[in-house]
């Protein structure tokens, strides 16, 4: 569907309409999101314009299996939306145990019945989905994003299916939950180098966050887009997006504001603007300290944001500024304090430490750290950690260090 938006079928109104087999709303919403006329839409599904109009206005019901199938095929509606689904929301990945007691049979029954019928969603259902998302975020730190993507897409569909039956404050909670799921999917797409998908999910998350009045998530999505710009070597864009995260969401928590300041500092460092980078890092550290005094005010997805993480960010800024010794010192201290269950992050910062050693001319140390990171970089750290190892090898080769060829050989074994 060349004229449709990315991930069109994750839109809550479309999903709710398909689930209810409200074909008039499906056609009307689809046209609004894609800009198609009734005539063009009719060509796509094999109906003339007056029939499309009649279905949209509720003057004609879709009772024919053939017409229903034409709509499903013509609009490329995903199969998992149109088939009858009786399953409850996905459980955490194998081996994980949720904190506290799991859902009782009554709760699981309610979750399933809410998705399948007109029953209204309740607070315990949303509490359970909150816990699932939190647990999957922690799992991703350890096992990486690839095993979780399909699971999280399914979980998001469960959340948006609840939208049609939620009322009042519960409806706001459903939209907020959808925004959090979309942000997590964006992060995982970004982690796998899928830039277009990541941007589409961040935009969707930002839209839902604004709808739910969630300043923290609205600011976070802009900060994460700044992170994407930084990853692509676009320092000016990283700064602009990080600054937008601050002024566009003045009600954001201190920690979320600190993350935005740190992202702006990272953009300045990429541009080799040491003064602004240092100023903003100092400001971010002050915000972090104040946030630590009231952790209850921070959103749940900021669990990683603390002194250890910030030390690693100072190391990253020093790396961009080519202050190799400072980069080595900060990254070494941060890695030593980072828990082992942050396997993906440990891999990434270890590859950055190897780069810093190479830049400092300490080839043996660079090779030792890089080789230690190679297995995990191959298993869970691609493409970012893998690319950083190639950068380290290139720095070593430019310096004429034989360790560069040794690292290249190790990488080729797993390429």
Q: What is the CATH number of the domain that holds 50?
A: 1.10.260.40
Q: What is residue 149's predicted lDDT score, i.e. its pLDDT?
A: 84
Domain end residue (candidates: 212, 235, 255): 212
Q: How far apart are CA 356 and CA 316, in angstroms?
A: 9
What value does the mean pLDDT of the chain take?
84
The string of pLDDT tens digits covering residues 257-302 is 999 999 999 999 999 999 999 999 999 989 988 988 888 899 988 8
- Is position 94 within any domain? no
pLDDT of residue 86: 36
- Same domain assignment for residues 221 and 299: yes
pLDDT category at 381 given cuts 50, 70, 90 is: low
Is the domain of 218 the same as that of 191? no
Residues 284 and 343 in one domain: no
Examine the domain organization and report whether 347 and 402 are in the same domain. Answer: yes
Indicate whether 111 belongs to any domain: no
The tens digit of pLDDT for each residue in 160-194 reads 878 777 778 888 898 999 999 999 999 988 888 88
The answer to whether residue 42 scores a pLDDT higher than 50 is yes
Looking up tokens 């903003």 gives 280
Question: In this model, does residue 372 exceed pLDDT 60?
Answer: yes
What is the SS3 assignment for 83?
coil
pLDDT category of residue 107 using cuts at 50, 70 and 90: very low
Question: When comparing pLDDT for 85 and 384, which is higher?
Answer: 384
User: What is the full DSSP assignment across 262-310?
Assistant: HHHHHHHHHTT-HHHHHHHHHHHHHHHHHHHT-GGGS-GGGTT-SHHHH
**Which has more confidence, 159 or 337?**
337
Asked if the structure places residue 103 within a domain, the reply is no
Residues 30 and 77 in one domain: yes
Of the three residues 278, 305, 332, the one that is the final residue of a domain is: 305
Q: Decide if 315 is inside a domain.
A: no
120 pLDDT higher than 70:
no
Q: What range does the domain containing 49 cover?
A: 8-82
102 found inside a domain? no
How confident is residue 415, by pLDDT bands cut at 50, 70 and 90?
low
Q: Which two tokens stand for residue 110?
A: 């309610």
User: Are 236 and 187 members of one domain?
Assistant: no
Q: How confident is the model over 117-133, as a mean pLDDT? A: 77
Centre a 10 Å sphere on the Cβ of residue 153 and count the other Cβ atoms it contains. 17
pLDDT, position 353: 97
| Distance separating alpha carbons of residues 386 and 352, to the nearest angstrom | 11
Alpha-carbon distance of 98 to 101, in angstroms, equals: 7
For residue 104, tell me if it sits in a domain: no
257 and 336 belong to one structural domain: no
- pLDDT at residue 299, rounded to an integer: 92
Looking at the structure, do residues 298 and 366 belong to the same domain, yes or no? Answer: no
**Would you say residue 90 lies in a domain?**
no
Q: How confident is the model at residue 83 (pLDDT cuts 50, 70, 90)?
A: low
Both 392 and 358 in one domain: the answer is yes
Looking at 56, 82, 108, the residue that finishes a domain is 82
Question: Is the predicted pLDDT of residue 342 greater than 50, yes or no?
Answer: yes
Residue 400 has pLDDT above 90, yes or no: yes
**Whether residue 321 has pLDDT greater than 50:** yes
Query: What residues contact residue 28 under an 8 Å CB cut-off, 6+ apart?
Result: 56
Percentage of the chain modeled with pLDDT above 90: 39
Residue 198 pLDDT > 80, yes or no?
A: yes
Max mean pLDDT among 42-46, 118-122, 397-401 falls in: 397-401
Whether residues 224 and 206 share a domain: the answer is no
CB-based contact 315:352 (threshold 8 Å):
yes
Q: How confident is the model at residue 59, as a pLDDT?
A: 79
Q: How confident is the model at residue 7 (pLDDT cuts 50, 70, 90)?
A: low
Residue 252 has pLDDT above 90, yes or no: yes
The Cα 246–Cα 242 span in angstroms is: 7
Q: Are residues 346 and 287 in the same domain?
A: no
Binned at pLDDT 50, 70 and 90, residue 110 comes out as very low
pLDDT band at 117 (very low <50, low <70, confident <90, very high): very low
Please state the domain count of the chain: 4
67: pLDDT strictly greater than 90: no
Q: Do 196 and 233 belong to one domain?
A: no
Q: Give dist(CA 150, CA 162) in Å, integer.
A: 19
Q: What is the DSSP letter of 167?
A: -
């Amino acid at each position: 569907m060349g004229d449709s938006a990315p991930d069109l079928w994750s839109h809550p109104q479309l999903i709710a309409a398909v689930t209810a087999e409200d074909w008039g709303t499906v056609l009307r919403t689809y046209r609004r999101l894609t800009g198609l006329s009734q005539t063009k839409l009719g060509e796509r599904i094999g109906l003339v314009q007056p029939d499309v109009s009649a279905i949209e206005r509720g003057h004609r019901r879709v009772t024919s299996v053939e017409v229903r199938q034409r709509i499903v095929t013509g609009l490329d509606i995903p199969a998992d939306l149109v088939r009858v689904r009786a399953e409850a929301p996905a459980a955490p990945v194998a081996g994980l145990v949720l904190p506290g007691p799991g859902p009782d049979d009554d709760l699981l029954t309610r979750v399933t019945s809410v998705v399948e019928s007109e029953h209204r969603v309740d607070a315990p259902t949303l509490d359970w989905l909150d816990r699932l998302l939190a647990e999957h975020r922690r799992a991703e730190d350890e096992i990486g994003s690839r095993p979780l993507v399909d699971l999280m897409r399914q979980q998001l569909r469960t959340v948006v299916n609840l939208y049609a039956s939620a009322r009042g404050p519960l409806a706001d909670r459903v939209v907020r939950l959808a925004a959090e799921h979309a942000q997590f999917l964006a992060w995982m797409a970004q982690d796998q180098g899928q830039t277009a998908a990541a941007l589409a999910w961040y935009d969707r998350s930002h839209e839902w966050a604004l709808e739910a009045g969630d300043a923290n998530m609205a600011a976070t999505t802009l900060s994460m887009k700044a992170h994407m710009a930084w990853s692509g070597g676009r320092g000016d864009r990283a700064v602009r997006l990080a600054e937008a995260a601050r002024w566009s969401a003045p009600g954001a928590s201190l920690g979320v504001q600190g993350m935005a300041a740190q992202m702006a500092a990272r953009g300045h460092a990429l541009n080799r603007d040491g003064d602004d980078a240092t100023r903003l890092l100092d400001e971010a550290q002050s915000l972090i300290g104040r946030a630590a005094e009231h952790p209850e005010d921070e959103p749940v997805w900021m669990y990683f944001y603390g002194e250890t993480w910030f030390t690693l960010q100072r190391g990253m800024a020093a790396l961009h500024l080519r202050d190799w010794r400072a980069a080595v010192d900060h990254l070494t201290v941060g890695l030593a304090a980072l828990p082992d269950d942050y396997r993906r992050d440990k891999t990434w910062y270890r590859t950055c430490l190897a780069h810093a050693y190479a830049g400092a001319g300490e080839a043996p140390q660079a090779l030792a750290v890089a080789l230690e990171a190679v297995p995990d970089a191959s298993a869970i750290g691609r493409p970012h950690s893998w690319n950083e190892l190639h950068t380290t090898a290139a720095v070593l080769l430019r310096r004429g260090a034989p360790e560069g060829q040794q690292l290249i050989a190790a990488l080729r074994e797993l390429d």
